[in-house]
């Protein structure tokens, strides 16, 4: 293993300073993905800045009814948090649908957002991968890609983002709060991850040296119903073939607010804006849902071996929206 420095940061400033001072540094959260990638030679950091001791492990209810989730809150703790379970069920369900019990106990909120794709070509340093090594090509394009993207991919990269949690955050209009050398800022969760385009090596909009400090959930007043559903190869410990997070609120017999996001289909959680636009003001009927979801998935460009993802995502979305509709009208 390539020797690396280990720094345990006591404060956010200490962490960002340490990062800035050490070229090739990485922040270390639960390590459930980064350490694997170091073993595989995919990541070769010069230094690990351990951020798990930072005072970012709280879940704070805000005066406006929102919720601020610290970046180092463990996935299992967040899933079990009473306020999350009560007001943001899609988030709790998404967390519990991810990984395994042991991994959820270790993985952090910030780390979950920053995990890398599980594309087998990305993880194998003997094969080409534009994400791992720009310009080398994409092994998956003509290779084994049943699990890969059907939306927003490019000829440079067809990887998907593996997180379940991030899909729920995208649908829930969460924001990712960052702190870096240039101060603090926040980015909508739905825009935090990127599409690959010509620069698949860049997963997110995070700037070099920036640290995720928290995730901000907007007020879920009126008990906004939300759900998450995931299809996978086995009952536990498998990444999504496709997944859906949705939040739905109706009034006067029409959809007043909707957030819909797909997982497992793209390089980022896929916020279904077209479907949402079609639904706002429409009656929450099966026909309206079908119309909206089909509008969204019309953009899908399946690869040789993953065409099943389009009907799978469609049916998941219709199922989730259909189940939310009665509660949404209360």
Partner 1 sequence: MTGTETVLGAATERREGREKVTGTARYAAEYTGPGRAHARPVPAAVARGRVTGVDAAPALALPGVLAVLTHENAPRLAQPDDPVLAVLQGPEVPHRGWPVALVVAETPEAARAGAAAVRVTCAAEPHDVTLTAGHPGSYVPEEANGGHPAVRERGDQDAAFAASEVRIDTEYRVPPLHNHPMEPHASTARWKGDRLTVRTSSQGTNAVRATLAQLFEVPEEGISVTAEHVGGGFGSKGTPRPDVVLAALAARHTGRTVTVAFPRRLLPSLVGHRAPTLHRLRLGAGRDGRLTCLGHEVATHTSRIKEFVEQAAVPARVMYAAPHSRTAHRVVRLDVPTPSWMRAPGEAPGMYALESAMDELATELGLDPVELRVRNEPAEEPDSGRPFSSRHLVECLREGARRFGWADRDPRPRSRAEGPLLVGTGVAAATYPVLVAPSTASAWALPDGGFVVRINATDIGTGARTVLAQVAADALGVPTERVRTEVGSSALPAASLAGGSSGTASWGWAVHEACVRLAERLATLPGPVPEDGIGAHADTTGEADAGSAYARHAFGAHFAEVTVDTVTGEVRARRLLGVYAAGRILNARTARSQFVGGMTMGLGMALTEDSHVDPAFGDFAESDLASYHVPAHADAVGIEAHWVAEEDAHLNPMGSKGIGEIGIVGTAAAIGNAVHHATGVRFRELPLTPDRVLTGLLAHETPAGTFGG
Cα 174 to chain centroid distance, Å, stands at: 11
User: How far apart are CB 222 and partner 1 at their closest, in Å?
Assistant: 28
Instruction: Decide: is 246 part of the binding site for partner 1 (CB under 8 A).
Output: no
* 16 φψ region: left (φ > 0), alpha (ψ -120 to 50), beta (else): alpha
Report the residue number, 189 or 275, with the smaller CB distance to partner 1. 275
Q: At what angle do helices 309-328 and 286-297 cross, to 10 degrees?
A: 140
- Quickly count helices (H) and strands (E) in the chain: 12, 12
Nearer to partner 1, 3 or 253 (CB): 3
Strands 183-188 and 175-180: antiparallel
CB contact at 8 A, 250 and 317: no
* Cβ closest to partner 1, residue 216 vs residue 320: 320
Tally of residues, the chain: 330
| Cα angle, residue 234 at apex, residues 231 and 239 outer, rounded to 5° | 55
Span from 66-74, 125-133, 259-267, 281-289 in contact with partner 1 (CB under 8 A): 125-133
Find the binding residues for partner 1 in span 39-78 (CB under 8 A): 39, 41
Among 127, 185, 194, 257, binds partner 1 (CB under 8 A): 127
Handedness of CA 38, 43, 46, 48 (dihedral sign): negative
Stretches 120-128, 188-196, 254-262, 272-280: which one binds partner 1 (CB under 8 A)?
120-128
Task: Tell me the C-alpha distance between 73 and 50, whole Å.
Answer: 14
- Residues 293-312, one symbol each (x = binds partner 1 by CB under 8 A, - = not), give -x-----------xxxx-xx
Closest residue by Cα to residue 72 from 56, 92, 84: 56
Tokens of 282: 């429409």
Q: Which is nearer to partner 1, 2 or 273 (CB)?
A: 2
Shortest CB 302 distance to partner 1, Å: 11
Number of residues interacting with partner 1: please give it, by CB under 8 A.
37
**By CB under 8 A, residue 120 contacts partner 1:** yes
Among 144, 184, 286, 299, binds partner 1 (CB under 8 A): 144
Any contact of residue 118 with partner 1 (CB under 8 A)? yes
Q: Give the nearest distance from C-beta 137 to partner 1 in angstroms.
A: 10
Q: How far apart are CA 101 and CA 259, in angstroms?
A: 28
Q: Which residue shows structure tokens 């289909």? A: 265
Q: Is 142 in the site for partner 1 (CB under 8 A)?
A: yes
Interface residues with partner 1 (CB under 8 A)? Answer: 1-2, 39, 41, 100, 118, 120, 124-127, 139, 142-144, 146, 231-239, 241, 294, 306-309, 311-312, 314-316, 319
């Amino acid at each position: 293993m390539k020797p690396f420095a280990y720094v345990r940061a006591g404060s956010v400033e200490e962490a960002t300073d340490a990062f800035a001072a050490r070229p090739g540094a990485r922040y270390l959260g639960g390590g459930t993905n980064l350490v694997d990638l170091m073993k595989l030679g995919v990541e070769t950091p010069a230094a690990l800045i351990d951020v798990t001791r930072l005072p970012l492990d709280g879940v704070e209810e805000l005066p406006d009814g929102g919720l601020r989730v610290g970046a180092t809150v463990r996935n299992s703790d967040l899933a079990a948090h009473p306020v999350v379970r009560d007001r943001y069920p899609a988030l709790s369900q998404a967390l519990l649908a991810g990984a395994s019990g042991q991994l959820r106990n270790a993985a952090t909120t910030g780390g979950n957002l920053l995990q890398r794709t599980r594309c087998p070509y990305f993880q194998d340093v003997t094969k080409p991968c534009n994400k791992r090594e720009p310009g080398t090509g994409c092994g998956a394009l003509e290779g084994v890609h049943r699990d890969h993207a059907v939306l927003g991919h490019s000829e440079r990269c067809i990887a998907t983002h593996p997180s379940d949690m991030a899909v729920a955050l995208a649908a829930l209009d969460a924001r990712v709060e960052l702190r870096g050398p240039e101060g603090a800022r926040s980015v909508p969760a739905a825009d935090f991850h990127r599409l690959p385009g010509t620069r698949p090596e860049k997963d997110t909009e995070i700037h070099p040296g920036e640290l995720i400090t928290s995730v901000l959930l907007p007020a879920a007043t009126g008990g906004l119903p939300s759900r998450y559903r995931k299809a996978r190869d086995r009952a536990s410990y498998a990444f999504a073939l496709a997944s859906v997070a949705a939040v739905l609120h109706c009034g006067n017999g029409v959809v007043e607010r909707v957030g819909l996001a797909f997982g497992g289909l793209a390089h980022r959680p896929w916020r279904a804006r077209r479907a949402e636009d079609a639904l706002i003001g429409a009656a929450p009927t099966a026909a309206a849902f079908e119309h909206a979801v089909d509008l969204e998935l019309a953009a899908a460009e399946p690869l040789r071996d993953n065409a099943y993802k389009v009907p799978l995502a469609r049916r998941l979305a219709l199922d989730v929206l259909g189940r939310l509709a009665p509660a949404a009208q209360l």
